[in-house]
């Protein structure tokens, strides 16, 4: 009797979906390929038709996650115009929304220990989302005289780190529930303070964004 895996309609994606569920439940390193195969309804040998091992499967989860993440970030940045502060806050909210709505993808991307350059596909996918903040930072940097202008990539990285920190400490960490502010408010206030400190936005823009 033929093995079920050879008659699966979309075996590769079924394995990805199974892995995402297991990642949510057990973490990126808490499951085996055999478990992923069982969740997908196929035999363990069928997994190797698409993936060389568990890490290869996690990489695919991360690649797909970065694609979703980049789409959300690009959409958020466009909708956040015309205010520079509103645009940055929109990308921050998109970061929080992604972590909450796609926890399996988020964990594969940021908690699995994968390097951004692990594979060419992962490098390209992760670069798309990072490019959104880089473009925004480049546009903001034009407001600062050239002789006092910090590298846009520097404050882009700072905003990224702030967003990631709020997600990890307050949006995904149950102990963060004791903080008397929603994660969205913490992030928006932090971004506003940071950009004002650099002279990139004015008090009027802060008021407009609120």
Write down the pLDDT at residue 177: 59
Q: Are 28 and 20 in contact (CB under 8 A)?
A: no
Residues 65 and 11 in one domain: no
pLDDT for 2 beyond 50: no
**What percentage of the chain exceeds 90 in pLDDT?**
28
Do residue 35 and residue 65 come from a single domain? no
- Do 134 and 191 sit in the same domain of this protein? yes
Position 1 confidence tier, pLDDT thresholds 50, 70, 90? very low
Q: Which of these, 105, 77, 6, lies nearest to 47 by C-alpha position?
A: 6
Q: Could you please report the per-residue DSSP string of 16-37?
A: HHHHHHHHHHH-TTS--HHHHH
**For residue 3, what pLDDT is reported?**
41
What's the CATH code of the domain at 13?
1.10.10
pLDDT in tens, 80-125: 776 667 777 788 888 889 999 999 999 999 988 888 888 899 999 9
Domain boundary among 26, 51, 76: 51
Q: What is the rounded CA–CA span in Å between residue 1 and residue 105?
A: 35
Q: Which has the closest alpha carbon to 193: 209, 181, 180?
A: 209
User: Given pLDDT bands bounded at 50, 70 and 90, which one contains residue 187?
Assistant: confident
Q: How many CA atoms lie less than 13 Å away from 108 in the CB half-sphere?
A: 35
The range of the structural domain enclosing residue 169 comes to 58-209
Whole-number pLDDT of residue 135: 82
- The whole-number pLDDT of residue 6 equals 43
Interatomic CA distance for residues 155 and 200, integer angstroms:
11
Closest-CA residue to 72 (of 23, 118, 26, 106): 106
- Residue 135 has a CB neighbour count (10 Å cut-off) of 14
| pTM of the predicted model as reported, rounded to 2 decimal places | 0.83
Q: Are 131 and 95 members of one domain?
A: yes
What does the mean pLDDT of the chain come to? Answer: 83
- Both 47 and 136 in one domain: the answer is no
User: How many domains does one find in the chain?
Assistant: 2
- The position carrying tokens 């006092």 is 148
Note whether 27 and 83 are same-domain residues: no
Confidence grade of residue 202 (pLDDT, cut at 50, 70, 90): low
Residues 123 and 169 grouped into a single domain: yes
In terms of domains, do 28 and 68 share one? Answer: no
Q: Say if residue 74 is in the same domain as residue 161.
A: yes
**Worst-scoring range by mean pLDDT, 15-24, 62-71, 168-177?**
168-177
| 33 and 62 together in one domain | no
Angle value at C-alpha 176, between 174 and 177, nearest 5 degrees: 75
| Euclidean distance between CA atoms 200 and 195, whole angstroms | 5
What is the pLDDT at residue 24? Answer: 93
H-run or E-run covering 45: helix 44-47
Give the chain's end-to-end CA distance (angstroms, integer): 64
Instruction: Give the mean pLDDT of 4-23.
Output: 79
Question: Where is average pLDDT lowest: 130-134, 176-180, 193-197?
Answer: 176-180
């Amino acid at each position: 009797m033929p093995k079920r895996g050879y008659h699966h309609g979309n075996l590769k994606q079924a394995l990805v979906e199974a892995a995402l569920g297991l990642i949510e439940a057990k973490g990126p390193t808490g499951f085996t390929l055999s478990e992923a195969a069982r969740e997908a309804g196929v035999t363990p040998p069928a997994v190797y038709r698409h993936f060389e091992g568990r890490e290869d499967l996690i990489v695919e989860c991360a690649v797909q996650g970065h694609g979703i993440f980049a789409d959300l970030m690009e959409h958020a940045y466009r909708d956040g115009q015309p205010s520079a502060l509103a645009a940055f806050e929109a990308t921050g909210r998109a970061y929080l929304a992604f972590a909450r709505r796609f926890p399996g993808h988020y964990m594969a991307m940021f908690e699995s220990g994968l390097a951004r350059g692990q594979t060419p596909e992962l490098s390209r996918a992760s670069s798309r989302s990072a490019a959104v903040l880089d473009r925004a930072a480049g546009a903001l940097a034009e407001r600062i005289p050239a002789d006092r202008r910090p590298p846009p990539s520097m404050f882009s990285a700072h905003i990224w780190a702030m967003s990631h920190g709020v997600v990890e400490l307050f949006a995904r960490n149950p102990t963060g529930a004791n903080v008397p502010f929603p994660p969205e408010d913490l992030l928006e206030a932090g971004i506003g303070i940071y950009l004002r400190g650099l002279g990139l936005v004015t008090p009027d823009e802060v008021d407009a964004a609120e």
